[in-house]
Amino acid sequence: MDSWENDEAIQRFREYLKIPSVHPDVNYDGCVEFLKRQANELDLPMVAHELVPGKPVVVITWEGKDPRLPAILLNSHMDVVPVYEECWTHPPFEAKISEEGYIYARGTQDMKSVGMFHLEAVRRLKAAGVRLKRTVHVSFVPDEEIGGEHGMKAFAQSEQFKALNVGFGLDESCPTTNSKVIQAFNGEKTNRQLKVTCRGKPGHGSLLQPNTAGEKLHFVLDRFMMYRAGEMQKQARGGWVGDLVTINLTQIEGGVQINVLPESLSLYFDVRIPPTIDHDDFDNMIRNWCREAGEDVTFEYVGNNASVEITNIDESNQFWTALLGAVREIGYDIHCRICPGTTDARFVRQQGIPVINFTPILNSPVLLHAHDERIHVEVFRRGIAIMEKVVEAVANI
């Protein structure tokens, strides 16, 4: 325990975890002040861009020997999801270290740990007198947990971001129970929320009349659920969820009274489409289902995110080969695939910049957004050591 309490990197991490940057209505002032102190200790310049009021984007910059080269972006988000404190073994913003060496706190896995891996890697390299070829920008953004609209999305589209001259980025993936293989992502599914509206002839609930909204809803729902069942079969055969289309019915609305046939009924679906699926073909399939259901059946996107190209993980991507080589050199490996959810990396990839989602948290239960989110101090230390090698490798290309 004494070695943990005296480890300055662990204490800095705990200090960051204790800042309750939790939704809803996050106040980021505490995070900005903490990061300002880290930048001062590292003798590095820091800028807090506030493109949206109350939504600061913090960038700490370590200039490389050749700042003309495209820079490296190490990104993480400052916000964390809500907690049910009564369900936690230890208070979620106390960052208590248990006797077994686990740090309990919201953000230990998602993703204040990764932000500290980035900063501590830079700290170690600077302390060792290392000078990197490329400039390294360590960014901390708001609101990733609620879609990133006022965080990385706004920042990635800004002139301030363009001025960073980013050539490659690292962002979050997820922990793994494996002790030797790190989980990474080179792309992610497109999140689309859609609404299907079925209109029919209203009337008395005692009648058996044709062309009702309910009949059309049944037809459309059946098509969606059959498609979903097919994807679940693929998953049962060992398919990775990141390679599958996920379809979930999340809302049904319509009707005015139980004995009145409704003029309109609507279905809402949360749909996640992998980059291997042609998005236009998928749209046309849904249009055909609506047409087959009958007249006056339409669909619209409530949220229609654009498809984003994946980052290549072959020899054409020198950053990937450097990353993989650095990890293998110290005795680990990387399993890279499509992220089943969404991260801020998609906004950077939309700018044509390759990004690998990389979280070096090994041999750990996956507790993203869960009660008792935690990380062992030795896992945290190992994550810093791995990130140090990775940053040095990709920034020296």
Query: Domain check: are 167 and 226 in the same one?
Result: no
Q: Tens digit of pLDDT for each residue in 355-367?
A: 999 999 999 999 9
Query: Domain check: are 283 and 138 in the same one?
Result: no
pLDDT of residue 2: 55
Distance of alpha carbon 278 from alpha carbon 307, whole angstroms = 9
pLDDT of residue 181: 98
Active site residue 144: yes
Distance of alpha carbon 121 from alpha carbon 113, whole angstroms = 12
Amino acid at the residue 22: V
pLDDT, average across residues 264-284: 94
Query: Domain check: are 329 and 233 in the same one?
Result: no
Burial of 48 (0-12, 13-18, 19+ CB in 10 A): middle
pTM comes to 0.91
Binning pLDDT at 50, 70 and 90, where does residue 341 land?
Answer: confident
Q: Which of 120, 144, 171, 392 is catalytic?
A: 144
pLDDT of residue 1: 54
Mean pLDDT value across the chain:
96
Distance of alpha carbon 316 from alpha carbon 330, whole angstroms = 23
Q: Which CATH number fits the domain that encloses residue 267?
A: 3.30.70.360
Query: Domain check: are 249 and 225 in the same one?
Result: yes
Peptide linkage before 226 cis (omega within 30 of 0)? no
Distance of alpha carbon 167 from alpha carbon 349, whole angstroms = 11
Query: Domain check: are 330 and 181 in the same one?
Result: yes
Q: Which CATH number fits the domain that encloses residue 27?
A: 3.40.630.10
Binning pLDDT at 50, 70 and 90, where does residue 36 land?
Answer: very high
pLDDT, average across residues 120-149: 97
Cα–Cα distances in angstroms (integers) from residue 182 to residues 263, 322, 330, 349, 362, in the given order: 53, 15, 12, 21, 7
User: In the listed set 258, 288, 304, which residue is the last one of a domain according to the structure?
Assistant: 304
Q: Which of 79, 110, 120, 188 is catalytic?
A: 79
Q: Tens digit of pLDDT for each residue in 173-194?
A: 999 999 999 999 999 999 889 9
pLDDT of residue 307: 83
Query: Domain check: are 266 and 233 in the same one?
Result: yes
Active site residue 263: no
Query: Domain check: are 296 and 330 in the same one?
Result: no
Cα–Cα distances in angstroms (integers) from residue 128 to residues 121, 123, 131, 395, in the given order: 11, 9, 9, 16
Using the predicted structure, report yes or no on whether residue 6 has a pLDDT greater than 90.
no
Q: Which residues contact 177 (CB under 8 A, 6 or more apart)?
A: 363, 364, 365, 366
Task: Give me the domain span that covers residue 285.
Answer: 190-273+276-304
Query: Domain check: are 292 and 319 in the same one?
Result: no
Number of domains the chain contains = 2
Structure tokens at 116: 């500290």
Query: Domain check: are 6 and 118 in the same one?
Result: yes
Within its chain, how far is the Cα of 347 from the centroid? Answer: 11
User: In the listed set 304, 324, 350, which residue is the last one of a domain according to the structure?
Assistant: 304
Query: Domain check: are 184 and 195 in the same one?
Result: no
Query: Domain check: are 30 and 178 in the same one?
Result: yes
Query: Domain check: are 101 and 171 in the same one?
Result: yes
Using the predicted structure, report yes or no on whether residue 308 has a pLDDT greater than 90.
no
